[in-house]
A and B are shown apart, each in its own frame.
Chain A
């Protein structure tokens, strides 16, 4: 009989041990230390262009709408719902009630009006207090803002523009306290006041930014008490800081360092496909690249898998379309141009390509996530072209000059890339490849003017039904593939390395996340 209590006790012990290993209870409290590669420039996100500013600012500031936790689908945030008028010109937003800014000012339609109007209307009293940078990516389509009542606001666009909702989810459209804007004026970037789960506490330049939990947050309260964003510019030092426990999260580590992190039992890594693309654009204005057969031939000459292995250290996927699979509307049915030097040579001969002339291959002078080592990549591509008999000379310019010259069409082929911040296919397709953007200074550095492709993009801009827009974009990608104005090279993988003491660490494809739900073991 004595055995029964022992058996029961043992069974209970096993159950508790096993059960305890399955799920840990989130714990409130603690300080999350985040090691970044640099300091923020400004915390007024309407003026921000750099990732470090955005990473810090989005903990404090919120938008009308936001991208999902691990995706790029648009969800409500300070706006509970929205509708679009029949003519597609007026977007009406119903705002969340009972929300306050960190300084106690009530969130309402007036706050939304001031936050947006200061960016686009020169006559707004706060317009002169900032440098509004990427307006074309955010609020440029808006020509009027109407406060309907305290909790209803309407944005009126110049013409129907379906991607506007995605624009509003960008960091560039935060809602800032009008009281703070009036008080801090041109120093609002040093004193951000929003509605977010964290409040701004202090900022020692080039050292750290400290944010504290907002106990009055309208949604689920943040779990950690504090976030300290440390500026650690040297990647090796950042890795050592993560390994030693000085920081809990380290961003932007080198690929070799990521391999070390993966081997460390105390550390974890998340990887996600990002929303960027690195590409090689043909200047289709130049006679030798006007024939699509030449472009398709050279597409067969490039070994993208080797580029990914040796340049991206495996942290990328080969690209076949102008935008990555993490964005809706991606045409996965398209068969990529396989690496086939023999076929490339054959197609070039059929197109009567002049093998005696030398082409200029322009390499970016700066490193980007979508092109981490541009010169080495250019050298690899140069060798692939040489293997099919095409002589290429690598040309380099200072970055500003590189952008100016490529936008004026001075190149034969140029390397570039794009980060589709608003995760809408329009951002890539219309913005980088339509006939409208092929005029100098051109965003369409292939200077490719395909009327049918452009027509599909314009139609999709005015279509508010996502399924219909998807069909238009699928077709557009088929045209792109057939004509090959680019050789899309890769979509990089975004990586976050962190201590296993942290739980529920998020990672969006654009790398920008609120750390509201992250919790830390004692």
Chain B
């Protein structure tokens, strides 16, 4: 068992996060814009600015600021938001669950539909389905998410109001926030109607967010499957008289999955890093909006905290993808 491998990867993660913290710390301070001045704007007096800078600790030399930040970070403290003094860890935690729920829902839609479309296209290349699927994939990749989201909202929430306009659940129906995942919390609370309502609220933003990864996954699946279907072992499987569905799904798809898993991991990482446009359109209270608002306000602690969380998420996803490779392909061994 690759426990030694896992331990090594976790150690690497620590070094990666340290490096990320330093790079982000420096880069943020290179961007023009003083947080105190941005907060106070054109109505700031010199005294107000000086007072706020002192309160924010911006008067200290950079090495001292970084040292203090690192000291707190090693104790699990991501610092305090420069905008409102709230603990950054708490601010992120409140929003991370919303982003996870949306990203996972979008990836599930993109994965199932994308792989299905890619497999069918590869099995029937240059057919009407294949042409239509790949054309839709091209449109999906090219279409601005912002426009798509507003159109879906207008069509299905205003014009023909079958779905809710925004938010995660209807007003007054929020369950007790045990996990922060609305679907799970409503199930745990035994509120079936609230669960369905939360699901309805998830549809439009998840479909909007799924469009681009769905298109990418469909195209990657198709090309990977086309390559695998030419292999000798597939011809052998067919020659042995195996059912075509067994040949496609068990033999071909499994071997085509490596590049697909890579793309899945990359896309999931991107979605979890915050789908700011989708979150903005659908008023989804996720991390994407938070990190962009924090960046615009030069809220250093909040941006640093968010990026560290994103880096950790991406590192974990990469680790899972690497382990999946070994599970999918016995020829790949994990060396401790």
Contact A234 B32 (CB under 8 A): no
Evaluate whether A134 and B40 lie within 8 angstroms (CB atoms) in the complex, with A189-B85, A241-B165, A246-B166 already known. yes
**Contact B285–A205 (Cβ < 8 Å):** yes
**B283 and A231 contacting across the interface, CB-CB below 8 Å:** yes
Are B33 and A441 in contact (CB-based, < 8 A)?
Answer: no
Given contacts A207-B168, A400-B37, whether A135 and B85 have CB atoms under 8 Å apart is: no
Contacts of B38 in A (CB 8 A): 399-400
Contact A401 B46, beta carbon cutoff 8 Å: no
| B245 CB, min distance to chain A CBs, angstroms | 44
Among residues of A, the one whose C-beta sits closest to the C-beta of B37 is A400
Task: Kindly state whether residue A190 has any CB partner on chain B within 8 Å.
Answer: yes
Q: Which residues of B contact A133 (CB under 8 A)?
A: 39-40, 48, 52
On chain B, the residues within 8 Å of A31 by CB distance are 171-172
- Alpha-carbon distance between A190 and B165 when the two chains are bound, in angstroms: 27
B171 touches A33 (CB 8 A): yes
Asked if B47 is at the interface (CB within 8 A of a chain A CB), the reply is yes
Do residues B153 and A240 form an inter-chain contact, with CB atoms below 8 A? yes
Contact of B42 among A231, A241, A418 (CB under 8 A): A418
Contact with A along B40-62 (1 / 0, CB 8 A): 11111111110110011000000
Binary flags per residue of B210-230, CB closer than 8 Å to A gives 1, else 0: 000000000000000000000
Q: Which B residues from 275 to 290 make CB contacts under 8 A with A?
A: 280-283, 285-286, 289-290
Report Cα–Cα, A13/B32, bound state, in Å.
Answer: 71
Q: How far is the CB of A186 from chain B (nearest CB, A)?
A: 6
B275, chain A: closest CB distance, angstroms:
13
Query: Are B165 and A136 closer than 8 Å at their CB atoms?
Result: no
Q: How far is the CA of A243 from the CA of B165 in the complex (A)?
A: 11
Q: How far is the CA of A399 from the CA of B42 in the complex (A)?
A: 9
Query: Nearest residue in A to B174 (C-beta to C-beta)?
Result: A204
**Complex interface: chain B residues within 8 A of A207 (CB):** 167-168, 283, 285
**Which residues 122-174 of B have a CB within 8 angstroms of A?**
150, 153-154, 157-158, 161, 165-168, 171-172, 174
Q: Which of chain A's residues have a CB closer than 8 A to the CB of B286?
A: 206
Mark each residue of chain A from 383 to 419: 1 if its CB lies under 8 Å from any CB of chain B, else 0: 0000000000000001111011000000000001111
By the criterion CB–CB under 8 Å, are A230 and B86 in contact? no
- Report B302-333 CB contacts with A as 1/0, cut-off 8 Å: 00000000000000000000000000000000
| Chain A 124-146 per-residue mask, 1 if CB under 8 angstroms from chain B, else 0 | 00000011111111001000000
Question: Which A-chain residue is minimally distant from B80 (CB atoms)?
Answer: A186
* Centre residue among B47, B52, B161, B286 by max chain A CB count within 10 A: B52
Partner of A230, one of B40, B48, B56, B167: B167
Q: Which residues of B contact A137 (CB under 8 A)?
A: 43, 45
Binds B, one of A41-49, A58-66, A86-94: A41-49
In the assembly, what is the distance between CA of A236 and CA of B41, in Å? 27
Q: Are A131 and B165 in contact (CB under 8 A)?
A: no
Number of interface residues of B (CB under 8 A): 50
8 Å CB interface, A203-239 against B: 204-208, 228, 230-234, 236-237
Name B47's contact: one of A38, A130, A135, A237 (CB within 8 Å): A135
B46 to chain A, nearest CB (A): 5
Range of interface residues on A (Cβ < 8 Å):
35 or more
Which chain B residues in 43-102 approach chain A with CB under 8 Å? 43-49, 51-52, 55-56, 83-86, 91, 94-95
Q: Say whether, besides A133-B39, A228-B171, A244-B158, A233 and B283 are in contact (CB < 8 Å).
A: yes
State A136–B47 Cα separation when bound (angstroms).
7
Q: In the complex, are the beta carbons of B165 and A237 less than 8 A apart?
A: yes
Q: How far is A204 from B172 in the complex, measured between Cα atoms in Å?
A: 12
Contact of A206 among B34, B40, B51, B95 (CB under 8 A): B95
Is A187 in contact with chain B by the CB < 8 A criterion?
yes
- Taken residue by residue from 179 to 205, chain A's Cβ proximity to chain B (1 for < 8 Å, 0 otherwise) reads as 000000011011000000000000011
In whole angstroms, how far apart are the Cα atoms of A467 and B164 in the complex?
56
Cβ contact within 8 Å between A49 and B40? yes
CB-CB contacts below 8 Å: B9-56 with A? 32-34, 37-49, 51-52, 55-56
* Structural contact, A205 and B91, CB atoms closer than 8 A: yes
Most buried by B among A41, A206, A403, A441: A206
Cβ–Cβ contact B285 & A206, under 8 A:
yes
Q: CB-CB contacts of A302-330 with B at 8 A, as 1s and 0s?
A: 00000000000000000000000000000
Q: How far is the CA of A41 from the CA of B290 in the complex (A)?
A: 11
Contacts of A460 in B (CB 8 A): none
- Residues of B206-257 at the interface with A, using a CB-CB cut-off of 8 Å, are none
**CA gap between A98 and B212 in the complex, in Å:** 61
Assuming A132-B51, A204-B174, A207-B283, is B32 touching A401 (CB within 8 A)?
yes
A54 within 8 A of B: no
The minimal Cβ–Cβ distance linking A503 to chain B, given in whole angstroms, is 21
> Hey, what's the 0/1 contact readout for B163-195 against A, CB within 8 Å counting as 1?
001111001101000000000000000000000
Cβ distance A432 to chain B, nearest Cβ, rounded Å: 10
A206-B41 contact given A236-B150, A441-B46, CB 8 Å threshold:
no
CB distance B46 to A416 under 8 Å?
Answer: no
Residues of B within 8 A of A47 (CB): 84-85
A170 to chain B, nearest CB (A): 11
Flag if A206 contacts B56 (CB, 8 Å).
no
Q: From residue B83, how far is it (CB to closest CB) to chain A in Å?
A: 5
Contacts A42-B85, A241-B165 supplied; 7 other A-B pairs, CB < 8 Å: A134-B48, A189-B85, A205-B94, A206-B283, A230-B283, A233-B280, A241-B166
30 A–B pairs (Cβ distance < 8 Å), ordered by A = A33-B171, A49-B41, A131-B84, A134-B40, A134-B44, A136-B45, A136-B47, A204-B94, A205-B290, A206-B95, A206-B285, A207-B167, A228-B171, A234-B150, A237-B153, A237-B281, A237-B282, A240-B153, A240-B154, A240-B157, A240-B158, A244-B158, A246-B165, A401-B32, A403-B37, A403-B41, A403-B44, A404-B34, A419-B43, A441-B46
**4 cross-chain pairs, A with B, having the tightest CB-CB distances, nearest first:** A206-B285, A136-B45, A207-B285, A398-B32
